[in-house]
């Protein structure tokens, strides 16, 4: 059973639709998933200054997802070719971009179902 609590001291969502952080307690999941969620949250936090994804059309998010996938493919080729410019953290960054746009696109689609 999961318990979800708003983070202490966090106000409600701001004008662009951002929600306060949610602290998940007593959630059982794979250690790898928990690590990935922490990494993705950190990645998303770095872009909090940007407008919320709910302010854009779902098709825009879909096109960005394709764009991020293409960026990852480019980085992956660098790794495969063992170029000096290839760094594992660059590939991880691109994969986190993909994951972020997957999450945003799913959220946008689900929000559209609520209409």
Torsion on CA atoms 107, 95, 31, 43, rounded to nearest 10? -70
Burial class (CB in 10 A: 0-12, 13-18, 19+), 8: exposed
Residues counted in the chain: 115
User: In the predicted model, is pLDDT for residue 18 greater than 60?
Assistant: no
User: pLDDT by residue (tens digit) across 91-112?
Assistant: 899 999 999 999 999 999 998 8
Average per-residue pLDDT in the chain?
79
The separation between the first and the last C-alpha atoms of the chain, rounded to the nearest angstrom, is 29
Give the pTM. Answer: 0.73
- pLDDT value of residue 3: 35
- pLDDT value of residue 49: 82
* CA distance linking residue 45 with residue 68, whole number of Å: 18
The secondary structure of the chain in percent helix, strand, coil, rounded to multiples of 5, reads 60, 5, 35
Q: Identify the band that residue 114 occupies on the pLDDT scale cut at 50, 70 and 90.
A: low
């Amino acid at each position: 059973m999961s318990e979800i609590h708003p983070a202490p001291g966090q106000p409600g969502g701001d004008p662009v639709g951002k929600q306060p952080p949610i602290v998940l307690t007593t959630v059982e999941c794979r250690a790898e998933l928990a690590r990935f969620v922490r990494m993705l949250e950190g990645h998303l936090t770095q872009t909090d200054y940007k407008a919320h994804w709910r302010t854009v059309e779902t098709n825009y998010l879909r096109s960005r997802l394709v764009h991020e996938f293409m960026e990852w493919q480019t980085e992956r080729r660098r790794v495969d070719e063992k170029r000096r410019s290839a760094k594992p953290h660059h590939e991880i960054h691109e994969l986190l971009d993909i994951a972020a746009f997957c999450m945003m696109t799913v959220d946008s689609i689900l929000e559209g179902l609520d209409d």
